[in-house]
Amino acid sequence: MLRKVRSHGSVVQRVVMMTPRQCTIAKPQFPPAFSFFNTIVRPPVATMNTPDDGIFTQKRVLRSKVKKDLRSMDPVLRSQQDDAIQNLILEAPWFKSCKRLCAYISCSALREVDTSKVLQNVLQKETAKILYVPRVEDKNCHMRMLNISRIDDLIANSMNILEPAPLDAHGNARQDVMLADEPIDLLLLPGLAFDKTGRRLGRGGGYYDTFLSKYQELARQRNWKQPLLIALSYSVQILEDGVIPLTPSDVFIDALVSPSGFIPITPAAQEIIP
Ligand SMILES: Nc1nc2c(c(=O)[nH]1)N(C=O)[C@@H](CNc1ccc(C(=O)N[C@@H](CCC(=O)O)C(=O)O)cc1)CN2
Ligand SMILES: Nc1ncnc2c1ncn2[C@@H]1O[C@H](COP(=O)(O)OP(=O)(O)OP(=O)(O)O)[C@@H](O)[C@H]1O
């Protein structure tokens, strides 16, 4: 949702992100320096709660627990796990051969698995890969995946997550993956918790589940091969099977990359193991 907000005397448009049970109005902030290692400055928030049903409460409780575990993770261990996960991806045949992919821009303040090395590799001209990254449009869990060709194409949104502006430096609309003529082969997904049956707990915005179900439908209509859905996970984020509450719109992942290796879940993921 775009809201006009008065900031130091001038009116600026800011994207205000809404989680399903909570409307959060972020105080305007000046964009920080562009960096993968951005930190979140939490603004004071106005909060509006609506009644919950049980399963969403269970999800919320689990999110809080995992966020706490992530915050208490030793930074050295975290950095080692970031390297291990990214090295596994960079060496994987399914990554090397992939031509078009969607990936998230990691936010260290959210304790997300770092994607900076992977993205740097993808954006080298020699790899000739086409990259799409998320941009929250904030209407009905609406997120688009837009094409970028340089890290400098990104600016911080109200949550301090880097994302592309809809227009590039020449004023041309960036390509939206939903309007592309060719399919993506791979999606690298963030998340708070995962299990080895393919369940994924996101941050509660419904952005990824909504996007994934729409993209899967598009691929079905066009007779395209479905993209591999591969989530990146610290060891502490892999929970016992069945512990993650499930709601009807949850989309299952194909595989996990954790510091201890690639964990295939679906037949599609088994097929790509050398
Ligand atoms: N790096 C990255 N980019 C992404 C996502 C993501 O999870 N990671 N998204 C995936 O959807 C979308 C953005 N959705 C987001 C949803 C919540 C929060 C967030 O900061 N949540 C806080 C709690 C906020 C609150 O409850 O008011 C948190 O998780 O601590 C960030 C992004 C698109 N881009
Ligand atoms: N395909 C969809 N279409 C419409 N709404 C959806 C869809 N998927 C999820 N939602 C809605 O999004 C909200 C959040 O869902 P949920 O708690 O499962 O999110 P999440 O999996 O944690 O987040 P994300 O999908 O962003 O990673 C719910 O209200 C859910 O109904």
Q: Is the CB of 162 under 6 A from ligand 1?
A: no
Q: Is the CB of 66 under 6 A from ligand 1?
A: no
What residue ranges define each of the domains in the chain, with the CATH number in brackets? 73-272 (3.40.50.10420)
Q: In a 10 Å sphere around its CB, with 0-12 CB exposed, 13-18 middle and 19+ buried, how is residue 45 labelled?
A: exposed
- Kindly report the pTM of this predicted structure: 0.84
- Binning pLDDT at 50, 70 and 90, where does residue 28 land? very low
Protein residue whose Cα sits closest to atom 9 of ligand 2? 206
Q: Is 59 left (phi over 0), alpha (psi -120 to 50) or beta?
A: alpha
- Binning pLDDT at 50, 70 and 90, where does residue 91 land? very high
Pocket-testing residue among 57, 141, 215, 239, ligand 2, by greatest number of atoms within 8 A of Cβ: 141
Work out the average pLDDT over 257-274.
95
- Binning pLDDT at 50, 70 and 90, where does residue 22 land? very low
Query: Atom of ligand 1 at shortest distance to CA of 107?
Result: 1
Question: What is the residue-wise DSSP string for 29-95?
Answer: -------TT----PPP-EEEE-PPPHHHHHHHHHHHHHHHHHHTS-HHHHHHHHHHHHHHHHH-HHH
